[in-house]
Amino acid sequence: MFEWDEDKRLKNLAKHKLDFVAAGRLYDGRATITTVSAYAFEPRYLTTAQIEGKFYSLVWTGRDGRRRFISFRRARDEETRAYRQIYG
């Protein structure tokens, strides 16, 4: 269901202190918002959700029926605002 490049996962850990393994929690049934992310080479998506009171965003793409994680980080202010506009 989920996949990622291991080198990219390690870089994400170093940069954002967040592991792609934990990003799977965004798909455990909690409320999320997903928008299309502008990227010229393939369709990419940005999913934002709340985990333990904090907001996180995941950039991903679909490949071979799986979600391939590209970046996982704390949500930006505008991403948090968009989420709150929908879910309060």
Tens of pLDDT, residue by residue over 4-59, are: 999 999 999 999 999 999 999 999 999 999 999 888 888 999 999 999 999 999 99
Q: Which residues contact 73 (CB under 8 A, 6 or more apart)?
A: 12, 15, 16, 18, 56, 57
Domain range annotation of the chain: 2-87
In this predicted model, which residue has the larger pLDDT, 78 or 88?
78
Q: Would you state the pLDDT for residue 65?
A: 93
* In contact, 37 and 64? CB cutoff 8 Å: no
Task: List, in sequence order, every residue forming a beta bridge with 33; answer none if it has no partner.
Answer: 48
Q: Would you state the pLDDT for residue 10?
A: 98
* In contact, 72 and 58? CB cutoff 8 Å: yes
Tell me what the mean pLDDT of segment 65-77 comes to: 97
